[in-house]
Amino acid sequence: MVELSWLGHAKKTFTHSPNPIKLAMRDGSRISLADLCEETAPPCHLNPLLFNGHIQTIWTVMKDAGPQIIYKRRIFESDDPAYAGQFSVDFVVQTPSPKDDTLPVLTTYYSEKEFEQIDSLDSKPMLVTLHGLSGGSHELYLRHALAPLVAKEGGWEACVINSRGCAMSKITTPLLYNARATWDIRQIVKWLREKFPNRPLFAIGFSLGANILTNYIGEEGSNCVFKAAVVCSNPWNLEAGSLALQRSWMGLEIYSKTMGTNMKRLFETHMDQILKNPKIDVEKVRKLKYLHEFDRYIQGPTWGYPTEGAYYRDASSTDSMLAIRIPFLAINAEDDPICVNEAIPYEEFKQNPYAVLCTTSLGGHLSWFQVGGTRWFAKAADAFLIKVANEVDLEAPLAEKVEANGSAVPVCKEATYDPMRRRLHVPHVPDASS
């Protein structure tokens, strides 16, 4: 049961393996991942007037200007013919360009000449960012986390991968994105590694982007090149979350309806491309009201799932967390009305020494508003990332490496459990040179 938080003082709880990995520090000492996460997480003192998860979450509609982040956008063509199409990546820059009304505020396109000069051999940390459902690089919650890092005194570089069709980007095939759409981040990470060979790469994901990021890191396993990652308000178990939303009036008529409306608007924007898929029934889509209906009538037919439940079970990141092999911090609020507490994989976190879960008794969904409008989760995430980047020996192997209990652990002579076994299989599509 979630404790009441007196005057906005939320309780923090850390869940992790009894034997978390130990990280080698630059000063020669070692620290456990759990201790590092606890040391860097500031006290969670939130606005006492926003005293529960619903009020915290609904307060996100009260937009303020927030910190300014300037972007240059580059369009990438997918290098995997199985997921053909284009997607946009917004890179943080320091100097604004003339306004472009076809893009979100403070965002312009790279010129070809500018992009040709983007290579760098510097060793600044670089943050790869994934936004939430139907969002983009312009989102306020995202800018709160990026601003302290990319300020000149922070010294970080960053980019935001916009999900296909989001943030005023165009799509060129019937494919939007889904909760396990890891193909675009995989392409960009490979590209970043080649363009910036000296930069240590880190990652942060929010809400649906947190789910995608967790899936990606799990898929990569011990080959993941990120030095560390943070996920905020991850929905984890999508089926449990969807059913929880449908159980209450607020869940269904406020949250699910709002998210369904946002996704329906995305469909209307890109309808000409999406309807090239003959399996999409436009009349059913236009009548839908809730998020699970969008997943039933768009995601199911697009990806071959027979029901939205099958999609949720396949795309959930609960099992993916067991396959993670980099330092990983997850931040969730126990009173989050969208990414509900019952969907958080507490027991799985106890099985993976590479992962730590920080839950707070108050905070809502991507909210955690403090007096003055700042957000606690941004401070906690940034403090963790800065500590790892500045004080951990990033070239040292993970000290006292231990095998997590989710990776092919024998349960009998011939049986193993593979947390990353997936049901959706996309057939190989040969490229033009084949």
For residue range 181-198, what is the model confidence (pLDDT) as tens digits?
999 999 999 999 999 999
Whether residue 355 contacts residue 323, with contact meaning beta carbons closer than 8 Å, is answered with no
From the list 365, 367, 382, 407, the catalytic residue is 365
Bridge partner list, 12: 360
Counted domains in the chain: 1
Q: Which of the four pLDDT bands, split at 50, 70 and 90, describes residue 5?
A: low
Q: Which of the four pLDDT bands, split at 50, 70 and 90, describes residue 428?
A: low
HSE value, Cβ hemisphere, 13 Å, CA-based, for 162: 29
Residue 170 has pLDDT above 90, yes or no: yes
The whole-number pLDDT of residue 365 equals 98
30-34, 80-84, 334-338: least confidently modelled range: 80-84
Known active-site residue 111:
no
**Is 195 within the bounds of a domain?**
yes
CA 392 to CA 396: how far, in whole Å?
Answer: 9
The whole-number pLDDT of residue 3 equals 43
Residue 142 has pLDDT above 50, yes or no: yes
- Per-residue pLDDT, averaged over 91-97, amounts to 93
- Per-residue pLDDT, averaged over 310-326, amounts to 97
The whole-number pLDDT of residue 410 equals 37
Q: CB burial class (10 A; 0-12, 13-18, 19+) of residue 11?
A: middle
Q: What is the mean pLDDT of the chain?
A: 92
Q: If we measure between CA atoms, which residue out of 256, 247, 239 comes closest to residue 291? A: 256
**Is 20 within the bounds of a domain?**
yes
pLDDT digits (tens, 9 = 90+) for 204-234: 999 999 999 999 999 999 999 999 999 999 9
From the list 184, 319, 336, 382, the catalytic residue is 336
Known active-site residue 17:
no
The whole-number pLDDT of residue 154 equals 73
Residue 304 has pLDDT above 70, yes or no: yes
From the list 5, 88, 207, 256, the catalytic residue is 207
Residue 93 has pLDDT above 70, yes or no: yes
**Is 252 within the bounds of a domain?**
no
- Per-residue pLDDT, averaged over 294-323, amounts to 97
**Is 37 within the bounds of a domain?**
yes
Residue 111 has pLDDT above 80, yes or no: yes
- Per-residue pLDDT, averaged over 395-418, amounts to 60
The whole-number pLDDT of residue 422 equals 81
Type of residue at 230: V
Check which CATH number belongs to the domain holding 112 and give it. Answer: 3.40.50.1820
**Is 400 within the bounds of a domain?**
yes
Q: Which of the four pLDDT bands, split at 50, 70 and 90, describes residue 368?
A: very high
Q: Where are the alpha helices (DSSP H) in 227-317?
A: 238-247, 249-250, 257-269, 271-274, 282-287, 291-294, 300-303, 308-315
Ranges of beta strands (E only) in 17-156 are 22-24, 30-32, 70-77, 86-93, 107-109, 126-130
Ranges of beta strands (E only) in 169-227 are 201-206
140-150 vs 376-391: helix axis angle to the nearest 10?
30
pLDDT digits (tens, 9 = 90+) for 336-365: 999 999 999 999 999 999 999 999 999 999
Known active-site residue 365:
yes
Tell me which of 422 and 131 has the higher pLDDT. Answer: 131
pLDDT digits (tens, 9 = 90+) for 51-60: 999 999 999 9
**Is 302 within the bounds of a domain?**
no
Whether residue 163 contacts residue 132, with contact meaning beta carbons closer than 8 Å, is answered with no
Residue 130 has pLDDT above 80, yes or no: yes
Residue 434 has pLDDT above 70, yes or no: no
pLDDT digits (tens, 9 = 90+) for 67-82: 999 999 999 999 999 9
The whole-number pLDDT of residue 420 equals 87
**Is 1 within the bounds of a domain?**
no
The whole-number pLDDT of residue 1 equals 34
HSE value, Cβ hemisphere, 13 Å, CA-based, for 296: 15
Give the whole-number percent of the chain exceeding pLDDT 90. Answer: 85
Range of the domain at 184: 6-237+316-417
The whole-number pLDDT of residue 6 equals 65
pLDDT digits (tens, 9 = 90+) for 238-284: 999 999 999 999 999 999 999 999 999 999 999 999 999 999 999 99
The whole-number pLDDT of residue 409 equals 40
